[in-house]
Structure 1
Amino acid sequence: MNQIIPEDYVTLTHKLDSFHLESINLILNEKSSYDVIIDIGCGDGSVTKMLSTQVPHKQLVAIDVDQGLLKYANTYNNSPTIEYVQQDMTVGWPELCPRLREMDGRVDLVFTSFMLHYCSRDKRQVMAIFRQLLKSDGLFYGNILINQDLNRKLLGKGKERDPKQQWYPSLDKQTDNWLKSLTDNGFMIEKSKLIELNVGMNRKQIIDFMPVVVDCYRCYFPDSQQFDAEVGDHLWDTVFDAFFSPPDAEPNPSAWTKFLADNTITELHYYFHCLRFNCLSSLWAYFRFLIGCMYDNVIEIFHYAIVQNSRYKQKSAQVPSPIINGFGESLKTRPSEFVFPLISSTEIKVGASSDLFRTLAKAVLIMLMVAPESMTARVGTTLTRTAISVSENRPSRSLRRMMNSFVTLIFRFATVYVCQTVIHACEHFPNGCAGCF
């Protein structure tokens, strides 16, 4: 991977200070303090230092693969709570350094900014590592560079869409792939937004930075030979045209060549997109999910739990859609992703069994809705008698009847709620809990 010298890296990072301060404010909106923070891809340490001064914490571990940048960070951006560690994050969990592996399940916040695009080939593996590092109530916050769609420039030259289009994915395709890698690894996305940014760069910075930008596209090619052939053809011109020309400018097939030849061009703007997101690890996300569902739908569920069974005896084949299909139309507009409920262990291959859980939950609901009133009443009576048997005071007959009715109601309510949660979570997280536990 091509690298940029620390001094130029520092200059570019400082141009995004306001953007990173906004990110830190979003983190503080979620929680006022974090005991253990990991900054993935810390670079020169500028953003790490901002985290250390703005976010209350006890320990901050900053990770980067570049030894030169880490040396600079240790010199200019150090503090008593910051620990800089060299680590390549594209390796698997067993290959991580002992310092990171000993933080398994102890991290309150994983933060990363403009690093993950280097891990495009290893999305799922990297996300699984972050998931393993986080506590059950941990937060994952990220800013991911989204590469420009080079097909837009190629098509502008009058070219038809050819096999190269799969090498240059669109902005939407890249965004969807990143968000899917999060949900597939058990994260619940609370917020995500694609942001358009630009920063000014002088001529020397552009020349030093271009190899890094071009190398970001290597991951989209089937092999290095294909990438090298494309670099020799037109890739530098197309990449330069996509990033350093205004988005609405006409394509320039020789943009990079003309820039090198024209020494009067001393500064240009670098145009790029960033996917900003924050998400919760699955256990905490599950409880947030339950609370949200209770708030939004408790009245509706309560209604279906207490209605007369005769309605369902007449329409046993038409069980109300809010019962079978989830929590009703309101949830379709909720921005969050939903996670699979905690009904499995690490030994169960939940991805293959989510259909089974959903089918069983639907069957229980149908049985509950068409069952005779006496059947659920017996359950309520049994539970009431059990409670009375351990009590010293025997209530009156009228009080026992009231208790029977109340316990029966609670039983129906709880059954419907649990089954709906299972059905809805299975439908929104069909891959189950794979990688979450």
Structure 2
Amino acid sequence: MAAAELWVERWERQQRRYAIDREERFTVIADVVEYVTQGQKRPLVVDLGCGPGSLAARLAERLPRAEVVAVDMDPLLLELARTHHSSAARYVDTVIGEDGWTEALALGRALDVAVSTTALHYLPEAALRRTYTQLAALLRPGGALINGDHLPQRDAVAAGLATHVGHRRAERQQAYANEDWESWWTAVADEPELAEPLAERSRRQRTPGDGDSDGYGAGNGLSVSDHTALLLQAGFAHVVPVWQFGDSYVLVAIR
């Protein structure tokens, strides 16, 4: 328990290097979940790419009546989530977008909300298109997909401006004083209590972002307009960005 708490806290600090106004983005996502699920006695929420449970824990605290199912394919991060945030969610080890992943969720009823932060940009466009279609089928009418992610601008001038604004904001928040992605994983490798899930992680060799200095990997490069088009094609009725700072967005799609 103590080891999990330590590594999750270090993860939280490390992630502030990359997610502009990370806590505010989490809060905005929770605001939208609250709005979409008003009147629901026990909202069903799926957290896609949950990592060590950062968003799931915040949603469980904000919406204690919600049932949260948190999904990831990284065995080490899931182990930290199950240990440190055990009561926040039911954790599922599966690969988003691959055959059978929705069945692995074992939902049993229509989904109210799907949320994700800095995970869906890893999926190739074809896999993302398929995932959006699958999520649209799982969600009840009026349900929502809420995606907090880094979505690049297509125009080079706009992209440069968004990047500059984001970097300046991070500097003011002293976010770059925290350890980076590679340093965190290097340090984890020396933690005896995490040796088993780390070995399993190495065996799978599936986690996106490995070896990338920015912690997020190159991603699929899809812009807000690209995601919007894919979501509308998948069966969502409305798509709107409700928050933005630099290239960090919260994009909401209503079924």
* Short-chain TM bin: 0.5 to 0.7
**SS at 2:228's partner residue?**
helix
- Per-residue deviation, 1:135: 1.9
CA RMSD of aligned residues (A): 3.1
Q: Does 1:186 align with 2:235?
A: yes
Length, aligned pairs only: 183
Change (3 A) 1:77 1:7: same
Match of 1:279 in 2: 253
Change (3 A) 1:72 1:8: same
1:99-178 matches, cutoff 5 A: 99-100=104-105, 102-103=106-107, 106-121=110-125, 122-147=127-152, 174-178=223-227
8 A contact 1:37–1:59 mirrored in 2? yes
Change (3 A) 1:139 1:29: same
The residue matched to 1:57 in structure 2 has which SS? coil
Paired residue for 1:27? 33
The 5 A counterparts of 1:28-427 are: 28-32=34-38, 33=40, 34-79=42-87, 82-92=89-99, 95-96=100-101, 98-100=103-105, 102-103=106-107, 106-121=110-125, 122-147=127-152, 174-193=223-242, 195-197=244-246, 273-281=247-255
Partner residue of 2:23? 17
**Partner of 2:3 in structure 1?**
none
Inter-CA distance 36–142: structure 2 relative to 1 (3 Å threshold)? same
Instruction: Check the 8 A contact 1:189/1:279 in 2, yes or no.
Output: yes
**Counterpart residue identity of residue 279, structure 1:** A
Q: How many angstroms apart in 2 are the aligned matches of 1:6 and 1:72?
A: 7
Greater per-residue helix proportion: 1
Deviation at 1:148, TM superposition (A): 6.6
For residues 132 and 103 of structure 2, the distance between their equivalents in structure 1, rounded to whole angstroms, comes to 19
Which amino acid in structure 2 is aligned with residue 83 of structure 1?
A: R
TM-score (norm 1): 0.37
- Deviation of the 1:50 alpha carbon: 0.5
Deviation for aligned residue 1:180: 0.5
User: Relative to 1, partners in 2 of residues 1:107 and 1:97: Cα closer, same or farther, differing over 3 Å?
Assistant: closer
Report sequence identity in percent.
18
- Which structure is higher in RCO with an 8 Å CA cutoff and minimum separation 6? 2
- State the secondary structure of the residue aligned to 2:142: strand
CA apart distance, 1:61 = 0.5
Which structure has the larger Rg over C-alpha atoms? 1
Give the AA of the match of 1:42: C
CA distance in 2: counterparts of 1:37 and 1:9, whole angstroms:
23
Question: Does the 8 A contact of 1:105 with 1:136 survive in 2?
Answer: no
- Shift of the 7–29 alpha-carbon distance from structure 1 to 2, 3 Å rule, reads closer
Partners of 1:90 and 1:180 in 2: how far apart? 18
- Residue 82 of structure 2: SS of its match in structure 1? helix
Task: Indicate if the aligned counterparts of 1:103 and 1:133 stay in contact, CA closer than 8 A.
Answer: no
**1:254-309 CA distances to partner (integer Å, 9 max, x unpaired)?**
xxxxxxxxxxxxxxxxxxx123222221xxxxxxxxxxxxxxxxxxxxxxxxxxxx
- Distance in 1 (CA, whole Å) between partners of 2:155 and 2:9 is 29
CA contact (8 A) 2:228 2:239 kept: no
Gap runs ≥5 in structure 1 = 156-167, 198-272, 282-437
Where do 5+ consecutive residues of structure 2 fail to align?
1-6, 161-217
Q: SS of 2:59's equivalent?
A: helix
Partner of 2:179: none
Instruction: Write the distance in 2 (CA, Å) between the matches of 1:40 and 1:108.
Output: 14
Moved over 4 A (4+): 5-8, 148-153
Over 3 Å counting, the alpha-carbon distance change for 1:191 and 1:147 in structure 2 is: closer
CA drift of 1:52 comes to 0.6
CA 1:50–1:28: 2 relative to 1, 3 Å: same
